[in-house]
Amino acid sequence: MTKMKVEEQEKARTKARMSGSLMLIEALKEEKVEVIFGYPGGAVLPLYDELYKAGVFHVLTRHEQGAIHAAEGYARISGKPGVVIATSGPGATNIVTGLTDAMMDSLPLVVFTGQVATSVIGSDAFQEADVVGITMPITKHNYQVRDISELPRIIKEAFHIATTGRPGPVLIDIPKDITTAEGEFDYDQDVHLPGYQPTTQPNHWQIRRLVEAVSQSKRPVILAGAGVLHANASNELRQYAEQQNIPVIHTLLGLGGFPADHPLFLGMAGMHGTYTANMALYECDLLINIGARFDDRVTGNLKYFAPKATVAHIDIDPAEIGKNVPTKIPIVSDAKAALQELIAQQGKPADNAAWLEQLNEWKRRFPLHYEPEAGTIKPQKLVEMIYELTNGEAIVTTDVGQHQMWAAQYYKFNRPHRWVTSGGLGTMGFGLPAAIGAQLADRSATVVSIVGDGGFQMTFQELSVIQELGLPIKIVIVNNQALGMVRQWQELFYEKRYSHSLIPNQPDFVKLAEAYGIPGLRAKTEAEAAEVLKQAFAMDGPVLLDFHVRADENVYPMVAPGKGLHEMVGVKACEELSR
């Protein structure tokens, strides 16, 4: 068959008449979607009937929240949009948390929700909810399909919007009668959105201004966020930092964008950042923000944030520039494009030898630390052991809380796209389902889901999916019998009034895992922890590990609410540690 005939057949197929449900399936094939996460219900039964016939790979999670967090994990690791299907009413409202999470962390999702028939919309029909109204503030864009002829265009636009500019979730609400109606499937059309034209290339003049600012600086520093990872610009970041000899700090979500073992890396910034990173932000005279949004957990009290610095901000979203921190050199651009232009300029490096010497002295004198203790498991040591066993190569997912911060501090991410966590929204229950999506995005990777005993109990039903698919995820429960970060704040700021943050009556997590057909192991001392970790990573399939850690351990350093980054508590010098 000639190439021309194949192209003619392809065009004929894309303009054939078919049901709305089949249109959606064909559109997903055109978009090369590899996996769908979802949960069926009445309003999407026609769609699921077509899924049954098409044989598309679909993961039936045990809750819609599990589906959307799994899609987030998939998107974070693969860089491709995560696809979710939920039914109308409660199915749609169960994904609201995940939509908000993806919106705040700039993750590309395309979410399809069922809706009652167009003839009864607005009548409070069974399982009706105003999904468009509910999700408008928490999506990059959303649609409700009212005409079958619009469905192909809307789906194509949704994938375009979700994956271009600043990534984010896009929702399509589809009434049930649209899924059964017939129309012409024309997917061979260009996306044309006059009001949506993201700027991806930097302004040359602004790049020159930054080049000059670097050459005149004495104390420059780079703050790199998740925008570097979304742009696949890790190599460019390293090349630019080395060319200009500028130290690099990461946000929580930016970890892995610059090698943690690189001499120019200063650590994570913010509330639980390293002493060196936070003091560098306080003392620098030039701050180059690349793909971070100056979140309050990074800046602390804005009055004291980078008070001596000229601020340059590279971001693909112009709304973020100048929003929280006054910016003298704004550069609206894709991070990779901006870094490539900066590298090409070959600007004169800063005269910063004394600055680098000071930073190295801080790194030496004020490292991250914890006090070893016999007869228990220190959570920091647990993370270090996992790092050593995996050679730092694992994909690590977490929930939110103390364990998340310890993982960020003590697991050294030297490669991009190895770190999956909830940043802006801080979603408990995120880690386990996100690990499912991450493992499906990279089947050959070692995936470790580090979760707290509180967050784990919000979505542990997804153990069933892990067992069903045979995903070799290692689930590490950092069990301190408390909502750890809540307890820490109550200890420090509420005079130890532990109001409903302690959970002494826990289930037997090992037996729970075994009930789902997954091996479970438990450890209460460091020696036991070392042994069960070796056992777990020697197993091919999934394993759940219940580690009973020191219950009153706190995360340090810490910047208290209302304080500046230079006002950290829990910092100790090496001289003090050696006493």
Q: What is the pLDDT of residues 383-433, one digit of tens each?
A: 999 999 999 999 999 999 999 999 999 999 999 999 999 999 999 999 999
Q: How many CB atoms lie within 10 A of CB 125?
A: 15
Pair (308, 286) in one structural domain: yes
Residue tagged active-site, from 126, 136, 393, 531: 126
Read off the CATH number of the domain in which 111 is found.
3.40.50.970
Strand ranges, E, within 16-117? 17-19, 36-39, 58-60, 82-86, 109-115
Residue tagged active-site, from 64, 157, 526, 553: 64
Quote the CA–CA distance of 555 and 319 in Å, as a whole number. 33
Write the pLDDT tens digit of every residue in 260-301: 999 999 999 999 999 999 999 999 999 999 999 999 999 999
Pair (506, 422) in one structural domain: yes
Strand ranges, E, within 426-541? 447-452, 474-479, 520-523
Quote the CA–CA distance of 141 and 149 in Å, as a whole number. 20
Segments forming the whole domain that contains residue 466? 379-555
Asked whether the beta carbons of 321 and 332 are under 8 A apart, the reply is yes
Percent of the chain topping pLDDT 90:
95
Pair (386, 349) in one structural domain: no
With cut-offs at 50, 70 and 90, classify the pLDDT of residue 577.
low
Pair (335, 399) in one structural domain: no
**pLDDT for res 287:** 98
Question: Distance from CA of residue 429 to its chain's centroid?
Answer: 13
With cut-offs at 50, 70 and 90, classify the pLDDT of residue 573.
confident
Residue tagged active-site, from 385, 405, 458, 485: 485
User: Taking all residues of the chain, what is their mean pLDDT, rounded to a whole number?
Assistant: 96
Pair (168, 101) in one structural domain: yes
Q: How many CB atoms lie within 10 A of CB 96?
A: 17
Mean pLDDT score, 443-472: 98
Quote the CA–CA distance of 453 and 462 in Å, as a whole number. 15
Helix (H) or strand (E) holding 175: strand 169-175
Final residue of a domain: which of 339, 365, 391?
Answer: 365
φ/ψ (deg, to 5) at 399: -85, -150
Active site residue 405: no
Pair (213, 302) in one structural domain: yes
Quote the CA–CA distance of 448 and 445 in Å, as a whole number. 10
Residue tagged active-site, from 80, 140, 156, 176: 176
Pair (179, 278) in one structural domain: no
Is residue 568 domain-resident?
A: no
Strand pairing report for 265-268 and 182-184? unpaired
Is residue 217 domain-resident?
A: yes
Nearest to 258 by CA among 287, 233, 293: 233
Read off the CATH number of the domain in which 331 is found.
3.40.50.1220
Pair (116, 227) in one structural domain: no
Is residue 191 domain-resident?
A: no
Is residue 88 domain-resident?
A: yes
φ/ψ (deg, to 5) at 221: -150, 145
Pair (340, 462) in one structural domain: no
Tokens 């999670």, residue located? 61
Residue tagged active-site, from 127, 239, 243, 461: 127
With cut-offs at 50, 70 and 90, classify the pLDDT of residue 15.
confident
- Interacting residues of 557 by C-beta distance below 8 A, sequence separation 6+: 272, 273, 274, 275, 278, 368, 568, 569, 570, 571
**pLDDT for res 8:** 59
Pair (284, 153) in one structural domain: no
What angle is formed at CA 311 by the lines to CA 308 and CA 317, rounded to 5 degrees? 155
Active site residue 485: yes
Least confident of 328-332, 360-364, 433-437, 571-575: 571-575
Active site residue 30: no
In the chain, the number of structural domains is 3
216 SS3 class: helix
Mean pLDDT score, 62-88: 98
